[in-house]
Every structure is written in structure tokens, then in C-alpha cells.
């Protein structure tokens, strides 16, 4: 079992930055991969970035160069640093953990990019 708690969402102006956090209830090294997804109103949930247990990271093309996924193993926490935010980044952002073949989701945190 893994419990995930996201935080750090909020309202930000276009061009601004936010850092989202996802605190896991167990060591990140015991989780095969942790990822960030987002879901905008009326759209499907989309994958953004993943960090594997070995530290390798991957990004969806539209956020590559703007978003950075990282982790703090001492805090069992994964972060998503989001820079140069745009109105189209407005969505609920979710953290996902994969342990073997089992998927766990956090409750989501709202990010709104607006002036």
C-alpha cells in the first residue's frame, strides 16, 4: 500500500512558477516509478513526467524544458517544479506511484494559471 498526498497547487500568473509536492507513505526507493499527471476540465488525464526508482527521468514533450521532476528520498517526496506557466497548464495535478503492477493515485491539487 502507498498513500500519496499532493500539495503546492494554487493560483499563479502566466509566466510564473509553482512547485508541487507529493509525499509518499513509504520510501521512494521501494516504489518502481513515481509520476505526475494532470487533468484539465473536459479532457482526459495526461502524463507529464516520471522518475524511476533508479533516478531516471522522462518527460512529455510539451513540458520538457519547463517542468522538472525530482525527489527527496529523506522525505519520501517527489516534486514537480513548473516554470513559465501558461493558461493551458490549468488543471488538477495528480501524483501516481507504481509498485510492481499496482498503481496508486493521490487526491490531486488544483493549479490555475490566470492573470
For residue 31, with 0-12 CB atoms within 10 Å meaning exposed, 13-18 middle and 19 or more buried, which class applies?
A: buried
Measured between alpha carbons, how far is 2 from 102 in angstroms, rounded to an integer? Answer: 10
Q: Do the Cβ atoms of 53 and 76 come closer than 8 Å?
A: no
pLDDT in tens, the chain (115 residues): 899 999 999 999 999 999 999 999 988 878 889 999 999 999 999 999 999 988 899 999 999 999 999 999 889 999 999 999 999 999 999 999 999 889 999 999 999 999 9
| Chain CA centroid to CA 104, Å | 13
Q: Do the Cβ atoms of 72 and 51 come closer than 8 Å?
A: no
Measured between alpha carbons, how far is 62 from 89 in angstroms, rounded to an integer? Answer: 10
Amino acid at each position: 500500500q502507498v498513500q500519496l498526498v499532493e500539495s503546492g497547487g494554487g493560483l499563479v500568473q502566466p509566466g510564473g512558477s509553482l512547485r508541487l509536492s507529493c509525499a509518499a507513505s513509504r520510501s521512494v526507493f521501494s516504489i518502481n516509478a513515481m509520476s505526475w499527471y494532470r487533468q484539465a476540465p473536459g479532457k482526459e488525464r495526461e502524463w507529464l513526467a516520471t522518475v524511476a526508482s533508479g533516478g531516471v527521468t522522462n518527460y512529455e514533450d510539451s513540458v520538457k524544458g519547463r517542468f522538472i521532476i525530482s525527489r527527496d528520498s529523506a522525505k519520501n517526496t517527489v516534486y514537480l517544479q513548473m516554470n513559465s506557466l501558461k493558461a493551458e497548464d490549468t488543471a488538477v495535478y495528480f501524483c501516481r506511484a507504481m509498485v510492481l503492477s499496482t498503481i496508486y493515485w493521490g487526491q490531486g491539487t488544483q493549479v490555475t494559471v490566470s492573470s
